[in-house]
Structure 1
């Protein structure tokens, strides 16, 4: 199979970021990177806040400003602004949704083995506190959409009260058929919670399910600490904030958006990130990132001796996602990064010795190297990793 051809760089895009040029930043998917115009917009808001904190928080305008930002962000993502609330991150939104379903002893939460680690921990804690039970269905890396739907349907029992499904998986960088799963749940009375941490900026037409939560600070260039939680109309009266504030009796979404003196400048500056993305050209950015991630996967995979047919999501692998994704994974040699501690140690060694930031995830007893691509990346960064990673792994 011929090597994937890298895309042409987006003109001037690298200058939009203040990233250390001595480091190859190939892990945008973990914490994002905030463009300089967005950083400056947030700093101006911080300056305003510190010039007169009482006026900023209690002057009467903050409610309208947060509402305007929320409506802008929801429209950008493709969701109903009236059904959304701004929250700090996807994990917070998942916790709020779990607490809104009304789970009891013996009830079951169904998820897959591609779920994010912090979400798994949130589910486990909810089960400890309510007496509910977590059930996990395995899904192969090469699974088709029909396979995923069938696996979820097989996992449902008479006690299932909630299904949790990623829109784009974090450890395995796969797009899940959320719309098809939601359709399969129709008529069962079982709500769907969509963990869409990586969706904003990548997917234009998300399927929100009954609950949906997505980070804006990953692929939509918002400051960190900006996410949207969508709740379908029948469930909004059940939502409550995990933190009691003066908005306790206000209901959704106000009860979630105001908690003491939480710094709201990230939320207020977030629309500038969407503006930057649109200015660069949303579809151009998506295609560039997906093509560059595929190139990185192909060169690093070849360097590690991985067959193209064994690269998840590649053209040669079955079950490749129809959605162009800005992340790809490369299976590591057996026993390498196969535990949480081993994955953390390897990631740090790659950062320290190769000056390259990547993600390493232990999944099903196998280490997966996850590569991200964004407009500030260049193909030669993946080439260098391909040259230098094999000797490092041999020295382990």
Structure 2
């Protein structure tokens, strides 16, 4: 684990991206960034489409999707025949929720670290079925054993029909012991959906070894794929129950093709995803992970100190390779989502710096990301300029 010192930059890495040099982009975790080489790979595919749209969509399209899926699934340790390419984690969550049978009185269990859109999807599904979306609270900085114990205690055999757990949470940058949690739920025949939106490209993962009923991760965050690329892996017992949100020509093929093929869409983001994995391997994935973890640790340390936070008040990572960390904001700032959005925009406009700001249990959290294009001086600059900005912002 990093000691908080900044790492040496990876030579040439910054030149692989087309980011605005006038902006400190410290928010890779929200939307990712697509390397120039991957942008060009996707553009070549788009050129191919426009040269002959009919041929592109009707001759070999399905085979190309299958080939890409196999490439991506193998990288993640997932079963290619039991996985489907989908646009994003949010889409996969809705697919799973509609496939799990809920009756009045049943419940879907989530944690208070979960992504807001996932909670909204669960609430809507439960509302339609007269079921309940229930949330279990997990303390910030809890150990793996504490998280496992609290989730296990919250399970209600016979009533809990689905547990949704993050592998890395978005707002709190916390890694969860999903393999142990899935095993605990399996003791009571409770299916588990692992929201691994931030995992591909950030952490090594063996999806098969996690043994969750459902696992979904975005490739367009940390694996350098074009946006709109994710993989949903489904355990054998559930595959015949997965129905696409939109019915198209591969419906009779069943999962995964029935989910993947949806007629006239832009599939080029999926087909260019292997170019993103190639970029990651070319840089050296271990070097990337080590660099990013060390750099974000440095950023958390200098920004936390600038905001007057004691080292003990800075949540430490629950996995050594995490490339995101959080810094608690002064009390009273960004305690609601509208306030967090307004502050994030203010930081962007006034400091030319992109960060993530989220409310969590009545406290505003600033989440830092680190990627190979970032430099220590960007965090130093934010640490120097953010405190006076926040002081004036509170007075306004």
Structures share a fold, TM > 0.5? yes
User: Does the CA contact (< 8 Å) of 2:215 and 2:232 recur in 1?
Assistant: yes
CA-to-partner distance for each residue in 1:8-43, whole Å, 9 max, x for gaps? 000000000000000000000000000000000000
User: Does the CA contact (< 8 Å) of 1:175 and 1:323 recur in 2?
Assistant: no
2:371 equivalent to 1:384: no
Q: 1:389: Cα distance to partner?
A: 0.1
Partner of 2:225: 222
User: Does the CA contact (< 8 Å) of 2:182 and 2:212 recur in 1?
Assistant: yes
Aligned mates of 2:253, 2:340 — CA distance in 1:
44
Three-state SS of the structure 2 residue aligned to 1:97 is helix
Q: CA 1:356–1:220 in structure 2 vs 1: closer, same or farther (change >3 Å)?
A: same
Partner of 1:128: 127
Three-state SS of the structure 2 residue aligned to 1:286 is helix
Q: CA 1:41–1:284 in structure 2 vs 1: closer, same or farther (change >3 Å)?
A: same
Aligned mates of 2:320, 2:241 — CA distance in 1:
33
Partner of 2:322: 325
What is the CA RMSD across the aligned residues, in angstroms?
1.1
Partner of 2:110: 111
Three-state SS of the structure 2 residue aligned to 1:236 is helix
2:158 equivalent to 1:155: no
User: Which contiguous aligned blocks of 4+ residues in structure 1 show a shift greater than 6 angstroms?
Assistant: none
Aligned mates of 2:102, 2:20 — CA distance in 1:
46
User: Does the CA contact (< 8 Å) of 2:293 and 2:320 recur in 1?
Assistant: no
User: Does the CA contact (< 8 Å) of 1:110 and 1:137 recur in 2?
Assistant: yes
Aligned mates of 1:268, 1:96 — CA distance in 2:
22
Q: 1:3: Cα distance to partner?
A: 7.3
Partner of 1:357: 354
CA-to-partner distance for each residue in 1:304-335, whole Å, 9 max, x for gaps? 0011111111xxxxxx4134200000000001
User: Does the CA contact (< 8 Å) of 1:194 and 1:208 recur in 2?
Assistant: no
Q: TM-score, normalised by structure 2?
A: 0.96
Partner of 2:80: 81
Q: Which segment drifts farther, 185-194 or 218-227?
A: 185-194
Q: 1:204: Cα distance to partner?
A: 1.7
Q: 1:177: Cα distance to partner?
A: 0.7
Q: Which segment drifts farther, 71-80 or 82-91?
A: 71-80
Q: CA 1:352–1:227 in structure 2 vs 1: closer, same or farther (change >3 Å)?
A: same
Three-state SS of the structure 1 residue aligned to 2:274 is helix
Q: TM-score, normalised by structure 1?
A: 0.96
Aligned mates of 1:41, 1:386 — CA distance in 2:
37
Q: 1:186: Cα distance to partner?
A: 2.5
Aligned mates of 2:119, 2:315 — CA distance in 1:
23
Q: How does 1:30-109 map to 2 (within 5 A)?
A: 30-59=30-59, 61-109=60-108
